[in-house]
A and B are shown apart, each in its own frame.
Chain A
Amino acid sequence: MKKTQESKTMNSGLHEQESSLRAVVSDVLAEAKQQGASSAEASSSMSQGLVVNVRLGEVETVEHTRDKGLAITVFFGQKSGSASTSDFSPGAIRDCVRAAATIARYTAADDCAGLADPDQLAREIPDLDLYHPWNPGVDRAIALATECEDAARGADPRIVNSEGASLSTHDGIEVYGNSHGFLGAVATSRHSMSCAVIGEDESGMQRDYWYTADRKAAGLEAPSKVGHEAAARTVRRLGGRKLATRKTPVLYEAAIAASLLSHFIGAIRGTSLYRRSSFLLDQLGQPVFAPHVRIHEQPFLRGALGSTPFDNDGVAPSSRDIVRDGILQGYVLDVYSARKLGMKSTGNAGGVHNLTLQPGEQDLAGLLRQMGTGLFVTELIGFGVNGVTGDYSRGAAGFWVENGVIQYPVEEITIAGNLKDMYRNLVAVGNDVDLRGNTRTGSILIDGMTLAGS
């Protein structure tokens, strides 16, 4: 009973929030016109949430979050300026527009500046099932986080300490509008639970974590499962050794493999291309991956974490292949970068949507067997990627594998190569797809990397 009432309150809250945000965006667009802007766009959002951390069985923090914001870009011909504020009062809206207009006075005229062409704007705004608010209350949230941490701490005697377990729930709504008359709203929710614990043996301490995330509370993994996974991942790292420097194939675990795709997207983003600051320039229609690779985006997947009915320019994204048979089919463009390149926006202002690396047939064990002898990487640290040259060098930890069988944990090593070669040497993708984020990939096996160690 109590739950129904709560969700009713949330829904009426949503309607109120949506109409107030629509009003704010309309007001700010009207104010921009009033101040002489030839066109304008604005976005506005509200969100609320609860984050609870439990450590060693005791509550550590309870955080209530409540945020709102308004951002506007005004155009005076081909000159533009932007401003943002968290104050929705009429005076603040006026000041915000004025600040943006002042900036536009000093910026240079830019042929490519401006809103999306009207025919590119999303015509329909489908309900993608992205909004499932959850109001567990502080006590229930604490109980769930406690159950999660207890499971981790009880899983193995070598789990001696904890960074705690966390339960987080957020929901909110965002409205985008522009002076072409577009006004769209998207309400979303995101809930997550995570746990990080410390294991210790005679070799020293190790930490690892696990998390679950979904738009629906019901889509979260059970607390005990998250805790057990965190404990198992921590304990398996104990006794890590260094390895001697060598050439080796590397299997990226699904949970960390998404970074390989984000480097790829960074290289085919419009901004990187028109600035000529990418290692994949002029590659449209060319092979950039091994021939078996397909990478596509799925913006309209119902209930998925990366879904959206329109992008930050108001343009509808599309379900499309970015790489087919290893060949680059398209770029990742917003309105501005598309104009710079003489192309059409691909609906990617703000990024890609449920980027998916087509899974292969094999599970993780199968990939380990296929690799035979090599490195299974479960953690990457550092930022050693040069987006202009593709040179890649990152800190890593994981396991040494022989004959398809994990032998021992390894740490304090780096793996290096060049992304252009790594993409062409992509041997296989697992069917162990990680669905917890905007990038969906299984484990990825790459041949011919350099491991540096002792």
Chain B
Amino acid sequence: MTDTLALAQQTLLAPASLGDADLDRVLASVLTHRVDYADLYFQYSRYESWSLEEGQVKSGSYNVEQGVGVRAVSGEKTGFAYSDEILLPALSDAANAARAIARAGGNGEAHVGSKLAVRDARRVILYAPIDPLASLEDAAKVKLLEAVEQEARRADPRVKQVMASLVGVQDTILVARSDGQLAADVRPLVRLNVTVIVEYDGKRETGSSGGGGRVRYSHFLEEGRAQHYAREAVRQALVNLDAGEAPAGPMKVVLGPGWPGILLHEAIGHGLEGDFNRKGTSAFSGRVGERVASEGVTVVDDGTLADRRGSLNVDDEGTPTQKTVLIEDGILKGYMQDTLNARLMGVAPTGNGRRESYAHLPLPRMTNTYMLPGQRDPAEIIAAVDRGLYAVNFGGGQVDITSGKFVFTASEAYLIENGRVTRPVKGATLIGNGPDVLTRVTMVGNDLALDSGVGTCGKDGQSVPVGVGQPTLLIDGLTVGGTQS
């Protein structure tokens, strides 16, 4: 962690000859204006992407983004400004703009900025401060995408188009806070995606797969992962080529393990973010201690899983991430917090303060959200359903926090008839009510899986990488939005 801090200081502060004393002075200048709390968020982010279509890598791009965000908090009020230049004058300008918030009246409890000190660091780091962009030769990145394409074409002659992309990011951040804490993180992130179009007998369909994490590109070369994504995309597309109309109406739904955990993210995750609950605008507001799920259902948000896409050593306010129990054996235990909402609600921050970049304000956000496994064999769960839907892959989802209504859209689904998976049906949107959907969980599988590392969550126009996971689940009565009534 100290190495990470040194690395971050070298990357972010050294080019402008900024030292801890400068940061102390800027923070102190913000704090003179009846401000309770202030922070500086420095960021240097490098991003590359390579895309393949029609068998060739025809385009690639490289992007550098850097800047510093200055936040001043006075009671419930936040002033915010940023600059894309990490230089002392620009930093001072941003600080002046941000601290003006206190003019509108504050609590007036200015803490004197103690000298910056490294936060008591986590002993184990969750991912190494590597540069994924440099972890593989450019020629090998091109070859990797070509290998994905070849595998997809080899898998089936009905494959007509293969589109694949490889993305790598190295994000270096440093947070200096008015309470004297200083934290840094170097966050690698890679992702490989493949989409295929299959065509047969005048019908066309699509399938997608992919994965990634806070690792080197070699992740995709190991265990045949890249080729597996290619075959998986083809398999999904071919299943859909044969799919009939999806059913319409409420029915028993069996959700497969892994990525279908997007259910948890939409149905309950967003509703348990601290800001909505502090404001009383969530369907879950004021419900801690109440039953919101069946017995045996435990859901956590865990930012501490090694190498995971949704993991962070520290969040964007410098708070170490943690494993937060959201629902324990069906009872709502707590919310996910950033420092602002935690302070206003009188609870501890949970390491969920995240921001898309220096140019955005932190918000309470999820990391990796998943349900712990139960006892049931997945085969036993399917066998228990007379008629229902077995949904194993999903596209995106969305939720209305206030009414609690949420959707998520299946991209691979089958009918279950008399306890057996029979035939594929087209993708359809599933809709339910967040506060009661988990009370309809009647069986929980023993096969917990996390997703392969492709999730991105949007809130207030800000995107952050997240993870989800769950075991196989049986839900008694979700509305399936097909066309066959």
Contact = CB atoms under 8 A, between A and B. Distances in A.
B78 to A, nearest CB: 5
A103 B61 contact: yes
B76 interface: yes
Given A384-B428, A452-B482, A389 B104 contact: no
A407 interface: no
Nearest to A386: B427
Interface in A48-79: 55, 58-68
Contacts of A86: 64-67, 84
A381 B432 CA distance: 12
Contacts of A450: 248, 482-485
Contacts of A84: 61-64
Interface stretch (B120-128, B228-236, B391-399, B448-456): B391-399
Interface in A336-362: none
Task: Give the interface residue-count category, chain A.
Answer: 35 or more
Interface string B377-415: 000000000000000000111111111011111000000
Nearest to B428: A393
A414 B428 contact: yes
Contacts of B61: 81-84, 100, 103
Contact of A395 (B139, B248, B361, B481): B481
A277 B204 CA distance: 8
Interface stretch (A198-206, A317-325, A365-373): A198-206
Task: Give the interface residue-count category, chain B.
Answer: 35 or more
A87 B403 contact: no
A413 B431 contact: yes
A416 interface: yes
B420 interface: no
A394 B481 contact: yes
B445 interface: no
Nearest to A281: B204
A102 B138 CA distance: 9
A387 B206 CA distance: 9
Interface string B456-485: 000000000000000000000001111111
A99 B57 contact: no
A223 B333 CA distance: 40
Interface stretch (B277-285, B297-305, B368-376): B277-285
Contacts of A388: 197, 204-206
Contact of B409 (A65, A103, A393, A413): A393
B359 interface: yes
Nearest to A454: B250
A454 to B, nearest CB: 6
Nearest to A138: B100
A57 to B, nearest CB: 11
B481 A100 contact: no
B39 to A, nearest CB: 14
B485 A62 contact: no
B199 interface: yes
A393 B481 CA distance: 6
A99 B46 CA distance: 12
B258 interface: no
A163 interface: yes
B403 A386 contact: no
B35 interface: no
Contact of B431 (A113, A163, A412): A412
Interface string A381-422: 111101111010111010000000000000111111110000
B8 interface: no
Q: Which of B60, B78, B100 has the most CB of A within 10 A?
A: B60
B147 interface: no
A395 B429 contact: yes
B338 to A, nearest CB: 14
A37 B221 CA distance: 33
A114 B92 CA distance: 43
Interface string B146-187: 000000000000001101000000000000000000000000
Contact of A384 (B142, B281, B395, B405): B395
A252 B279 CA distance: 31
A119 interface: no
Interface in B56-106: 56-67, 76-85, 94, 97-98, 100-101, 104
Nearest to B64: A85
A55 to B, nearest CB: 7
A53 B316 CA distance: 22
B206 A382 contact: no
B349 to A, nearest CB: 19
A454 B204 contact: no
A246 interface: yes
A138 B79 CA distance: 11
Contacts of B94: 64
Nearest to B360: A63
A107 B58 contact: yes
B246 interface: yes
Given A64-B81, A205-B403, A454 B359 contact: no
Given A383-B395, A388-B204, A207 B400 contact: yes
B97 to A, nearest CB: 5
Interface in A105-164: 105-108, 110, 113, 138, 142, 161, 163
A82 B66 contact: no
B267 to A, nearest CB: 12
A206 B206 contact: no
B483 A416 contact: yes
A58 B407 contact: no
Q: Which of B94, B142, B250, B431 has the most CB of A within 10 A?
A: B431
A96 B46 CA distance: 12
B403 A240 contact: yes
A58 B397 contact: no
Contact of A207 (B66, B85, B246, B401): B401
6 contacts: A58-B76, A85-B65, A87-B64, A207-B401, A412-B431, A414-B431
Interface of A: 55, 58-68, 80-87, 92, 95-96, 99-100, 102-103, 105-108, 110, 113, 138, 142, 161, 163, 198, 204-207, 237, 240, 242, 245-247, 275-277, 379, 381-384, 386-389, 391, 393-395, 397, 411-418, 450-454
Given A395-B398, A411-B403, 10 more contacts: A59-B104, A60-B77, A103-B48, A110-B58, A161-B279, A207-B400, A382-B431, A383-B398, A383-B409, A450-B248
Interface of B: 48, 50, 53, 56-67, 76-85, 94, 97-98, 100-101, 104, 138-139, 141-142, 160-161, 163, 197, 199, 204-206, 246, 248-250, 279-281, 283, 359, 361, 395-403, 405-409, 426-429, 431-433, 479-485
What are the nearest 6 A-B pairs in CB distance? Answer: A414-B481, A382-B407, A395-B407, A207-B402, A108-B56, A384-B429
